[in-house]
Amino acid sequence: MKKLDLSIEGMHCASCASLIAKGLQKQEGISAASVNYASSKAHIEYNEKNADEKKIIEKIKSLGYSASQASLSGDMEKENRKKEISSLKKKLIVGIAISVPAMLISMVFMDFPFRLPILFIFASIAQFYVGKQFYEGAISAARNGSASMDTLIALGTTTAFVYSIPSLFGIFHEQYFEVSATLITLVILGKYLEAIAKGKASDAIRKLLDLAPKKANIIRNGKEVSIPASEIKVGDIMHVRPGEKIPTDGVVVGGSSSVDESMLTGESMPVLKKAKDKVFGATQNINGSIKVKAMKIGADTTLSQIVKLVEEAQGSRAPIQRFADEVSAVFVPIVIALAILTFIAWHFIFPEILPAGTNSFEFALIAAVSVLVIACPCALGLATPTAIMVGTGIGATKGILFKNALALEGTHKINTIVLDKTGTLTEGKPKVTDIISFSKKHTENSILSLCASVEHHSEHPLAQAIVNYAKQKRAAIKKASNFKSFSGKGVSAKIGGSLYWIGNQGLAATNKAKLSADEKEAMHSLSMDAKTAMLIGKGKEALGIIAVADTLKPTSKDAVKLLRRLGLEVWMLTGDHEEVAKAIARQAGIKNVISQVLPQDKEEQISKLMKKGKKVAMVGDGINDAPALARSDLGIAMGSGSDIAVESGDVVLVKSDIMDVARAIKLGRATISKIRQNFFWALIYNIFGIPVAAGVLFPFYGILLSPMFAGGAMAFSSVSVVLNALTLRLAKLD
């Protein structure tokens, strides 16, 4: 199955997006299609045997819209947005230039020469130039057996315009030319403000894209040449001077410098880079001149992966969106039916309610037009995508990457969070803290030497800590053979013909080694200090203890407090012995501990919690904890650095700061809260606005909305939804 992202031009409302999506889903070979009105993008999955890019674009064109492949740089989207705003601005200026004089001539200067012909000309310009897009959209929708906001606007303004034409010939006394002109101008004003607001909603993506430098200095044939960054090839040597941005991902091959990676990790402190260190495109070289070999280009760079991940999240549909889809599908036909019923009610059923001398036909017509133009499916259609765009954009700038809208919604549902100990709560860099010899035969150095020799072939973090410490202390690492690993217990190996083992008391018992009371107490005491104590032995004899500790991260305690304030039940999951696990949990302020869990059993522990009815988020690294992350209700892969494309994890955290877990949950919840607020206001607006426009208050209070007021309210309802989504930028995440 192939994926295709397209930029769409010509959409005027959420109904347009729905029309395109439905049209594409009917096309042979297309398995899935989603269209985002807020970002003007379509995401399509199709079978290459039955469909291709050309056919898909032609299908979109047949629906009345234009499409082109979404560009990696975002330049095309930026240009399309500029064109849209510029076009709307021109139409708005023309609309204001004709609607203001039209209102003055119609309501103030009643004796103006050639008053009616001038109003007709003004209204015609508004109807067929300023409002041309509404006719095009309505016709396109009708061709495809659908209806949209364009249908409502075209119907309402055309009704007022056509009804007014007989007044030119003295057939009707009343005319509404200024109503149709002003209505269209107000709707265009709303669309203009909406386009600007939608542009701001996608600011985060543009800012990320703008970080990439446009030029690069490449060394070719011994000479330095400046080329467009898009022409860099893998293997090119780039010369990056102080103050310049690194053009693409690579590895330092010459020089050293401090590099500001805050755009990627959010960390404000520069990172020292020297030979063989990785560097990332768009990060800033601070104070040294370095030569970098290009390793990744184009779509493979870290920045491009981040942008792709964010765009996919922005284009995804949250389950909460289904409600809006269901309402939007029947919204326009219902509104048209209500407008017809409104006309029938006032003209044929209740004309006696009207004040004496009131023309029931004109009154009914005005009420029906008001119903048509006040209804706004756009507010409902924009409620979800704009909030998702802003929320995921904010996250991207802070190193918090939501893979899809479902992940955002997941933050709102979870009530339990499980934190893997190593690398999440702790630094993930264990260090040797204690070495104890049980006899005078062995010094601390000889115990360290034996431990390092046995552990030399192990890849376990604790083993690596012991080996590194031995190298640091220049302890001899002897050749070992017959290396064996005992899951959850320890390891053994032969050194000089003798079998040595290192591990917990379970492994000691397996080897029939007996410990004295003092030796057991020493093990217990180290465990209570949150240290992993391991016995080293030879055959049936225990020779000593080596202890390793992994310290808590500076922010772990505060992060746990914040997670609890968010109403979450916090658990710690670890393979450590129960005493060590509880000691670390106490330091972090965690009451619930699951200890002595083998890596392959983490998924089972998550399942057990879920079976108790808990909605569980699992936090760990995206590789070792992949099954547990995938099993949980919300998987948060932490500290992935440049590897943001990790398969597991609904949320990917670039940094290894546990505070980002709390920030991600707060941001996700704030985003879902904004979506719900948007739905509420969009529904309240339509639930109350449509009846008032239909004249239900007229018999009691004499209130009837004019079509102009109704049109203005409709125009600003969608703008208010976008502006409300933009207030997410003010959310406090710490």
How far is the C-alpha of 126 from the C-alpha of 157, rounded, in Å? 10
Instruction: Tell the burial category of 78 from Cβ atoms under 10 Å away from its Cβ (0-12, 13-18, 19+).
Output: middle
Q: Please enumerate in sequence order all residues whose Cβ is within 8 A of that of 513, keeping only pairs 6 or more positions apart, or say none.
A: 535, 537, 539, 540, 541, 542
236, 420, 550, 576: which is the annotated catalytic residue?
A: 420
Q: Is the dihedral angle over the CA atoms 147, 150, 153, 157 positive or is it negative?
A: negative
What is 678-730 written as a DSSP string?
A: HHHHHHHHHHHHHHHHHTTTHHHH-----HHHHHHHHHHHHHHHHHHHHGGGG
The whole-angstrom separation of Cα 12 and Cα 64 is 12
As given in the structure block, the two tokens for residue 169 are 């010939």
Tell me which DSSP letter residue 295 carries: -
Compute CA distances 21 → 27, 45, 57, 65, 362, whole Å: 10, 12, 12, 12, 39
Cα 365 to Cα 361: distance, rounded to the nearest angstrom: 6
Spatial neighbors of 285 by CB under 8 A, at least 6 apart, are: 240, 241, 242, 243, 244, 245, 246, 257, 259
Choose among 177, 197, 199, 201: nearest CA to 189. Answer: 197
Query: How distant is the alpha carbon of residue 27 from its chain centre?
Result: 29
SS3 for 611-676 is HCCCCEEEEECCCCCHHHHHHCCEEEECCCCCCCCCCCCCEEECCCCCHHHHHHHHHHHHHHHHHH
Give the C-alpha separation, 114 to 606, whole Å.
80
Distance of alpha carbon 652 from alpha carbon 632, whole angstroms? 14
CA distance 449 to 581: 27
Contact residues for 334 (Cβ-Cβ < 8 A; gap 6+):
none
Token representation of residue 336: 């048209």
Q: What angle do CA 405, 409, 414 make, to 5 degrees?
A: 140
Known catalytic residue: 420? yes
Eight-class DSSP state of 245: B
Q: How many residues does the structure list for the chain?
A: 734
CB 249, CB 302: distance < 8 Å? yes
What are the distances in angstroms from CA 539 to CA 91, 448, 643? 90, 18, 44
Q: Count the neighbouring beta carbons within 10 Å of the beta carbon of residue 598.
A: 10
Q: Tell me the C-alpha distance between 295 and 278, whole Å.
A: 9
> What are the b/e assignments for 686-700, b being 16+ CB within 10 Å?
beebbebbbbbebee
3-state secondary structure of 533: strand
- Please choose, from the candidates 122, 23, 137, 102, the residue with its C-alpha nearest in 3D space to the C-alpha of residue 377: 137
Return the active site residues.
420
